[in-house]
Amino acid sequence: MNDPEMTFAETLRCARLTLDLTQTEAAQLLSVSRRTIQHWEDPRRPAPHVLAQEGALARLDAEHDRRNGDAVAAPASTR
């Protein structure tokens, strides 16, 4: 989902569409407003702070993994 040639706006939109999410659903998943998603996906607007970018994309990647059964299992405890 993360192509180094893509802008954050393009990457976010691609990730959202891959998960078949509306902007409203993505906003709920990321705990931001729908308007924030609209702004982040607008290539004419400045990209959000790098930490916000990384957090948003990490959450969408985790949701993708969860939906595809790719979630990493918790390590077994050792006694």
- What are the angstrom distances between the C-alpha of 1 and each of 5, 33, 57, 75, 79? 11, 22, 9, 26, 38
In this structure, are residues 39 and 45 in contact, taking their beta carbons and an 8 Å threshold? yes
How does pLDDT run across 12-37, given as a tens digit for each residue? 999 999 999 999 999 999 999 999 99
Tens digits of residue pLDDT in 62-79: 999 999 987 555 445 543
Domains of the chain: 8-67 (1.10.260.40)
